[in-house]
C-alpha cells in the first residue's frame, strides 16, 4: 500500500534549488554528450552536456559479492517478501535508508553516495541531477537479463540513458491521471481544462510539487500551439511564463495542494473535491472503498513518473548492487512490488503474476495496456537551462521551485 511517496515539502524545495544551482555550475560542455534516441516520453536528454562519469568503465561480469548492500529508497521498495529471499540467494545483507522526497535522495547521494550508499531508487525529477553531478555511474545493462523483457519505452529512456550509456535500470512507473467524481461527471472529461474551470472552484486538488508546472505546459502545448512547446520540461522563458500564469489563475480554484496520496483520498471520500491530478493508486483505493470515482488520461496526454535503480559512483558493494538490480527486475519481484506499492512494473512478464497476487491488478495499474497508451505519457525529468535542441535558453529547475512557491502562496 502506498503511504508516503514523492512527498514535497518547503524544505525539499530549498534542497532542490540548491541541487539545481550546483548542477548548473558543475556541468561541462562537450559536443560528444548527445542523447540516446531510444525511449520516449520526456524527449531527448540535454544536448551539449557530458556527464562526469560518461567515460567510466563498466564491469563485464558480476564478481564475488561483498556481503552487504546499502540502499536509498522510497518507503516500500525494500519489503521483506523480496529482500529476504535476495539475502538468502546472494549472501548480501540489505540496509535501507528511506527518503521522503527526490531532493532528499539527491542530498544523500552527494559525493557519489559518500562511499556509504550503493543504489538509489531515483525518480525522473532527480535522475539528471544525479547524472550531471557525477553522483551515479553507468551500468552494464547486459548484466541485467530481464532488461530485454521491459516495455520498450523503459529500456533506454532519456531520463536515465545518455549517449547510449545507461545510468541505472528502470524499475516501476505510473501516469499522473485525471481523477474525477462519476457523480459530477457521468462521462469522463476529455480535457485537462476542467482543472482550470471556475465552475469547479473549491472542488479541485493537485500535487504540491514544482514539477506540476510541466502538467500545465503539456496542456498548453496542445491548446496553445503558438507557444511552440515541444517538451514540457524544456521551456523557454515565455513558455514558462505562460504555464505559471495558467497555474496562478488556477490557484483560487484549488481546495488543497496535496503532499500525500492519503490526503487526496480523504478529499474525495468526503466529497470535498470532484476533480484532481492523481496516481492510479488513489483511484483504485477509492474504488475499493466504494467511492464513485474513475480516472482518465485526457486528450492532451499526461505526465508521469518512472523510477530507476542508479549505482552510486563510490558504491562500496557494486557486485551486491548488480545482484539487486538483477533480482528486483525479475517478473516475480516486479509483480510483488507493483501490487504492494500500487504502480506499474517495467517488466512486461510481471502482468499475469500480478493477477495471481491480487486479482485484476494487472489491468488496474495498466500493466497490460498497449504501447500506444504509454506513448501518451511524458515522464518526469529534471528541467535544465540547457535545452535538448542545443540552446541554453530553457528555465532551470531552481526557477521552477521559486515560481511554484509564488503560485501556491
Q: What is the pLDDT of residues 182-208, one digit of tens each?
A: 999 999 999 999 999 999 999 999 999
Helices 237-250 & 397-408, crossing angle to 10 degrees? 20
What are 241-294's pLDDT values in tens digits?
999 999 999 999 999 999 888 999 999 999 999 999 999 889 989 999 999 999
At 46, the pLDDT band (50, 70, 90 cuts) reads low
For the question of whether the overall pTM of this predicted structure is more than 0.85, the answer is no
At 49, the pLDDT band (50, 70, 90 cuts) reads confident
Of 24-38, 47-61, 390-404, the range with the lowest mean pLDDT is 24-38
The pLDDT of residue 333 is above 60: yes
Number of other CB atoms surrounding residue 28 within 10 Å: 13
Pairing of strands 377-379, 302-312: parallel
Of 21-30, 102-111, 312-321, the range with the lowest mean pLDDT is 21-30
Residue 102 is predicted with a pLDDT of 87
Query: In the chain, where are the structural domains located?
Result: 10-174+304-376, 176-303+399-408
Residue 268 gets which letter from DSSP?
Answer: H
User: In whole angstroms, how far apart are CA 177 and each of 60, 154, 261, 308, 366?
Assistant: 41, 19, 13, 21, 12
Radius of gyration of the chain (CA): 20
The pLDDT of residue 31 is above 70: no
Q: What is the mean pLDDT of the chain?
A: 89
* Cell matching residue 347: 517488466
The pLDDT of residue 229 is above 60: yes
CATH no. of 10-174+304-376? 3.40.190.10
Residue 41 is predicted with a pLDDT of 35
DSSP helix/strand/coil, 347 = strand
The pLDDT of residue 37 is above 70: no
Residue 5 is predicted with a pLDDT of 45
DSSP helix/strand/coil, 172 = strand
* Cell matching residue 11: 524544505
CATH no. of 176-303+399-408? 3.40.190.10
Rounded CA-CA distance 167/52 in Å is 12
CA dihedral 19, 342, 196, 17 (to 10 degrees): -10
Q: How many residues does the chain have?
A: 409
Rounded CA-CA distance 275/269 in Å is 12
Is residue 258 exposed (0-12), middle (13-18) or buried (19+ Cβ within 10 Å)? Answer: buried
Q: What percent of the chain has pLDDT over 70?
A: 88
* Cell matching residue 401: 521551485
Rounded CA-CA distance 333/349 in Å is 11
Residue 216 gets which letter from DSSP?
Answer: H
Does this chain's domain 10-174+304-376 share its CATH topology with 176-303+399-408? yes
Backbone angles phi, psi at 21, to 5 degrees: -65, -45
Is residue 26 exposed (0-12), middle (13-18) or buried (19+ Cβ within 10 Å)? Answer: exposed
Amino acid at each position: 500500500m502506498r503511504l508516503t511517496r514523492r512527498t514535497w515539502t518547503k524544505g525539499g524545495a530549498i534542497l532542490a534549488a540548491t541541487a539545481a544551482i550546483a548542477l548548473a555550475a558543475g556541468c561541462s560542455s562537450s559536443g560528444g554528450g548527445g542523447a540516446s534516441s531510444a525511449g520516449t516520453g520526456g524527449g531527448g536528454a540535454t544536448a551539449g552536456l557530458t556527464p562526469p562519469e560518461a567515460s567510466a568503465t563498466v564491469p563485464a561480469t558480476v564478481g564475488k559479492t561483498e556481503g552487504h548492500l546499502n540502499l536509498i529508497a522510497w518507503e516500500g521498495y525494500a519489503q521483506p517478501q523480496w529482500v529476504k529471499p535476495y539475502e538468502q540467494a546472494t549472501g548480501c545483507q540489505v540496509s535501507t535508508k528511506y527518503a521522503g522526497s527526490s531532493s532528499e535522495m539527491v542530498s544523500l547521494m552527494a559525493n557519489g553516495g559518500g562511499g556509504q550508499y550503493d543504489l538509489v531508487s531515483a525518480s525522473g525529477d532527480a535522475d539528471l541531477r544525479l547524472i550531471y553531478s557525477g553522483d551515479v555511474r553507468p551500468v552494464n545493462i547486459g548484466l541485467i537479463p530481464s532488461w530485454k523483457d521491459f516495455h520498450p519505452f523503459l529500456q533506454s529512456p532519456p531520463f536515465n540513458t545518455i549517449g547510449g550509456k545507461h545510468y541505472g535500470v528502470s524499475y516501476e512507473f505510473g501516469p499522473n491521471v485525471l481523477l474525477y467524481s462519476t457523480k459530477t461527471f457521468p462521462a469522463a472529461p476529455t480535457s485537462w481544462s476542467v482543472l482550470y474551470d471556475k465552475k469547479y472552484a473549491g472542488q479541485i486538488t493537485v500535487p504540491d510539487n514544482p514539477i506540476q508546472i510541466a502538467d500545465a505546459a503539456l496542456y498548453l502545448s496542445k491548446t496553445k500551439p503558438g507557444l511552440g512547446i515541444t517538451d514540457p520540461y524544456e521551456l523557454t522563458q515565455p513558455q514558462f511564463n505562460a504555464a505559471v500564469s495558467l497555474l496562478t489563475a488556477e490557484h483560487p480554484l484549488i481546495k488543497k495542494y496535496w503532499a500525500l496520496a492519503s490526503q487526496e483520498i480523504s478529499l474525495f471520500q468526503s466529497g470535498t473535491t470532484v476533480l484532481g491530478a492523481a496516481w492510479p493508486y488513489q483511484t483504485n483505493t477509492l474504488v475499493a472503498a466504494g467511492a464513485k470515482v474513475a480516472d482518465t488520461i485526457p486528450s492532451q496526454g499526461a505526465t508521469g513518473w518512472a523510477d530507476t535503480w542508479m549505482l552510486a559512483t563510490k558504491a562500496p558493494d557494486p557486485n551486491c548492487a548488480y545482484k539487486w538490480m538483477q533480482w528486483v527486475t525479475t517478473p516475480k519481484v516486479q509483480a510483488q512490488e507493483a501490487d504492494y506499492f500500487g504502480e506499474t512494473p517495467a517488466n512486461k512478464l510481471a502482468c499475469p503474476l500480478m493477477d495471481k497476487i491480487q486479482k485484476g491488478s494487472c489491468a488496474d495499474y495498466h500493466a497490460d495496456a498497449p504501447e500506444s497508451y504509454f506513448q501518451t505519457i511524458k515522464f518526469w525529468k529534471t528541467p535544465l537551462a540547457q535545452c535538448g535542441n542545443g540552446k541554453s535558453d530553457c528555465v532551470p529547475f531552481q526557477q521552477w521551485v521559486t515560481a511554484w512557491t509564488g503560485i501556491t502562496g
